[in-house]
Amino acid sequence: MAKSNNPSVSSKVQLGEVVVLRLDGLDSLVARLTALGFETKGPVVRDGAVVPGPITGVADLPVGVHDEQAPGSYRLTRGDDGRLFDWAVGPGSWKAEFFPPSQEVWRAVKVGDSMQFTESAPLAPLAIVGARPCETAALDVLDRVLKDGAHRDPVYADRREGAFVAVVECATPASTCFCSSMGTGPGIEGGFDLALTEIDDARGHRFVVRAGSDAGVEVLSVLAHEEALDEDLEARGRVLDQAAARMGRQLQTEGLASLLARNVEHPRWADVAERCLSCANCTLVCPTCFCSDVRDTSDLDGTLERRRVWSSCFDLEHSYLHGGAVRTSASSRYRQWMTHKLSTWWDQFDTSGCVGCGRCIAWCPVGIDITEEAAFIAASDGATPANAVSKASAP
Amino acid sequence: MTPVVHRVVGRIQETDDVTTLCLEPVTGARMDFRPGQFNMLSAFGVGEAAISLSSAPGDRGPLRHTVRDVGAVTRALCQRDVGDLIGVRGPFGSDWQVPQRTVGTAVKDVRDTVVIAGGIGLAPLRGAVHELVAASHGGGGRVFLLVGAREPSQLVFNDDMEAWARDGARVLVSVDRASPQWHGRVGLVTALLSDAGFDPANCRALLCGPEIMMRFTARALVDMGVAPEAILVSLERNMQCGLGWCGHCQLGPFLLCRDGPVVPYAGIVSQLLTERER
Ligand code: SF4
Ligand code: SF4
């Protein structure tokens, strides 16, 4: 007979210690974070998709919700299993919480013979319960752009540094997921305040929880938790093994950056351009895409406002330079996007720009698949329009 | 992210569509910068554009920016009058690394410098030429300025070019299409290279102009024996923030606001200048 966990206690947890929370413990976690003054958010179902939203407890989470994802398609289904996190990432990412799609940078008014500026107010501290491992990896990527470079974006950096992040490891990756290839999931070993693994077996529906920071230790210590047994750790291992085994896609990352750098003239770029609509969906759903436009407006009363809004390298205006766009063709824009993600991001920020979340595959209206495009180019390395490989002979 | 408010204290109509704005901060000290760097200039209520500094750090006068009217923001900047306010953020980016004028110390770098500009490409080089000409009198190397423009009416800084020539620089100018009043050379700027008289084995070259002009000029310099490592080019892309955040100024591995605008020609840049980005 399986051992049962020790009865619930609230006791000081050590950094790195593993404990078990039941559903009521998860409820208390949300309540505790809110009581500490955090704006508490988690995955919620809205408009037929799992997206970030405000939560007050377990009931707000996607209870019994599952997903079916494939190139160009995303669909939620409902079960009666009561599981909370058996879905893969949806179209919304946590990026928007730190780097809003439209954000005031400053307002200015004329005062005397000069101007007075008011910078945008800092956002409230945010707590996330239920980010996926690839999503915290994506935030780490964004940190290198907006926080850790020569110039620190104060709104992003303050909100990021003040955030509390409870990650839930992935048990059921989608067919579009390839985080195993990118080293960003389905499990997570660092860079979180708390890491949870959802388990539902003979010994009940519960979460194996690790504290990864002092803030995580503090919050976890006041929640009713149980000591984790070997069986709990083994159950977590099984969840992660099964998740890795059902990963729907893979990307061969070895040598990929230089492969794309030397295949600028590859005929595949023209081929993908025949399918690509330049709709920019892929950049909107991508959790690491950071391009923005800076826009100035003036009110009738003379107040000036500068905003920063998301933009996309698929927009013609993105590369506008005295009187015309530099990247005029769809092929040059798709090549810019994919080569940036997988190649020049390394040059610029010493990391991959892709975390393998699969969003761009599911949300591309024509199902263009970054892993398939990369595999094609790898299989026909060095092809040029002059020596083009026929479509039939490539994978 | 908030600009420093400057006042237009002078403006020079350089050509039909090119204006130099002379700016002083409304409060506080004038900024420090190196020739080749740029600022983000705000035409308040219209927008912001990346404009290189065309003055020299050693000048006593106001900051200069030379703007070509090519869109809504640059048009608004060109239309600003003396007394108007302009926002300035910067300076950003890399510089030409010309020897600094330091009173009383000898200039260590005695190589020839050949400065090659196409059209308004002379603007980000103007401060460098000022510094180089001054340094040449303090033991620095000789200065060669080769300027090309489509037509004589598109030449900028004619007074400066005369002054630099009087001050010892060798200045050669060529236009693609002569006007009836033009008695100078006609042809591409690359045709000036062999007549200039610099020492290819012991020189540095600074290039700014249309990419195609820089591509042919850099190749011609290498053919003459100039080391690719001794050639610097200034590259340009759309820029919206100057801070490395907005993603617009990407060119291959570069974020040009951060890694440029001035980059060495050797290696990846020589390749980028030949690849089609379209
Ligand atoms: S490129 Fe696609 S798979 Fe990679 S992080 Fe972006 S959306 Fe996810
Ligand atoms: S790859 Fe797909 S999602 Fe991205 S711009 Fe093209 S059609 Fe739209």
| pLDDT tens string B139-185 | 889 999 999 999 999 999 999 999 999 999 999 999 999 999 998 99
Question: What's the rounded mean pLDDT across residues A59-65?
Answer: 97
Share of chain A above pLDDT 90, in %: 82
Query: Is a pLDDT exceeding 80 seen at residue B76?
Result: yes
Question: What's the rounded mean pLDDT across residues A73-98?
Answer: 96
A257 CA → ligand 2 middle, Å: 21
Sheet holding A114-119, edge to edge: A114-119, A102-111, A304-310, A292-298
Is the complex ipTM more than 0.95?
no
Question: What's the rounded mean pLDDT across residues B224-239?
Answer: 92
More confident residue, A7 or A272: A272
Identify the residue whose tokens are 């609230």.
A10
Task: Give residue B222's pLDDT.
Answer: 95
Query: What value, to the nearest 5°, has the Cα angle with vertex A150 and ends A144 and A155?
Result: 65
Query: Is a pLDDT exceeding 50 seen at residue A394?
Result: no
The two most distant CA atoms of chain B are separated, in Å, by: 51
Question: What's the rounded mean pLDDT across residues A336-345?
Answer: 94
A360 lines ligand 1 (CB under 6 A): yes
What is the rounded distance in angstroms from the CA atom of residue A30 to the CA atom of residue B119? 63
Task: Give residue B103's pLDDT.
Answer: 58
**Tokens at B60, concatenated:** 């006593």
A327 CA → ligand 2 middle, Å: 16
**Tokens at A182, concatenated:** 């990118």
- Kindly list the structural domains of chain B, giving each domain's residue range(s) and its CATH number in brackets, ordered by start: 4-92 (2.40.30.10), 112-234 (3.40.50.80)
B106 at interface of A, judged by CB pairs closer than 8 A? no
| Predicted confidence band of residue B102 (pLDDT cuts 50, 70, 90) | low
Question: What's the rounded mean pLDDT across residues B8-14?
Answer: 97
B246 at interface of A, judged by CB pairs closer than 8 A? yes
Query: Is a pLDDT exceeding 80 seen at residue A374?
Result: yes
Question: What's the rounded mean pLDDT across residues A362-375?
Answer: 97
Omega of the bond leading into B200 within 30 degrees of 0 (cis): no
Query: Is a pLDDT exceeding 90 seen at residue A124?
Result: no
Task: Give residue A169's pLDDT.
Answer: 98
Over residues A280-291, the pLDDT tens digits come to: 999 999 999 999
Q: Pick from B128, B187, B188: which is nearest to B157 by CA?
A: B128
What is the rounded distance in angstroms from the CA atom of residue A243 to the CA atom of residue B264? 47
CA-nearest residue of chain B to A116?
Answer: B5
Share of chain B above pLDDT 90, in %: 74
Q: Pick from A351, A355, A55: which is nearest to A182 by CA?
A: A355
| Chain A nearest C-alpha distance from B234 (Å) | 15
Q: Does the beta-carbon distance from B278 to A326 stay under 8 Å?
A: yes
Phi-psi region for residue B15, left (φ > 0), alpha (ψ -120 to 50) or beta? beta
Q: Pick from A171, A182, A154, A345: which is nearest to A251 by CA?
A: A182
Task: Give residue B273's pLDDT.
Answer: 80
Query: Is a pLDDT exceeding 60 seen at residue A391?
Result: no
Task: Give residue A126's pLDDT.
Answer: 98
CB-CB contact of A394 with A379 (8 Å): yes
Chain B residues whose beta carbon lies within 8 Å of the beta carbon of residue A258? none
B104 at interface of A, judged by CB pairs closer than 8 A? no
- Name every residue whose Cβ is closer than 8 Å to that of residue B8 and which is 6 or more positions away in sequence: B21, B22, B23, B80, B81, B82, B83, B84, B85, B86
Over residues A215-237, the pLDDT tens digits come to: 999 999 999 999 999 999 999 99
Q: Does the beta-carbon distance from A264 to B48 stay under 8 Å?
A: no
CA-nearest residue of chain B to A331?
Answer: B278
> To test the ligand 1 pocket, which listed residue (A338, A359, A369) has its Cβ within 8 A of the most ligand atoms?
A359
B26, B240, B245: best mutation site toward chain A, by most A Cβ within 10 Å?
B245
More confident residue, B109 or A301: A301
CB-CB contact of A354 with A335 (8 Å): no
Identify the residue whose tokens are 């939620």.
A76
B75 at interface of A, judged by CB pairs closer than 8 A? no
More confident residue, A333 or B269: A333
Over residues B38-65, the pLDDT tens digits come to: 999 999 999 999 999 999 988 888 999 9
Q: Does the beta-carbon distance from A119 to B247 stay under 8 Å?
A: no
Task: Give residue A215's pLDDT.
Answer: 96
User: Cα-flanking dihedrals φ and ψ of residue A35, to 5°?
Assistant: -65, -30
B26 at interface of A, judged by CB pairs closer than 8 A? yes
Beta-carbon-side half-sphere exposure of residue A52 (alpha carbons within 13 Å): 22
Closest Cα to atom 7 of ligand 1: A286
Q: What is the DSSP string of A212-258?
A: -SHHHHHHHHTS-BEEPPHHHHHHHHHHHHHHHHT-------TTHHH
Chain B residues whose beta carbon lies within 8 Å of the beta carbon of residue A322? 68, 70-71
B176 exposure class (CB count in 10 Å sphere: 0-12, 13-18, 19+): middle
Identify the residue whose tokens are 């377990």.
A58
B237 at interface of A, judged by CB pairs closer than 8 A? yes
The two most distant CA atoms of chain A are separated, in Å, by: 83
Map residue A282 onto helix, strand or coil: helix
Task: Give residue A356's pLDDT.
Answer: 97
A12 at interface of B, judged by CB pairs closer than 8 A? no
Question: What's the rounded mean pLDDT across residues A11-27?
Answer: 92
Compute the mean pLDDT over every residue in chain B, rounded to the nearest whole number.
Answer: 92
A354 lines ligand 1 (CB under 6 A): yes
Question: What's the rounded mean pLDDT across residues A332-344?
Answer: 93
Task: Give residue A1's pLDDT.
Answer: 42
A343 CA → ligand 2 middle, Å: 19
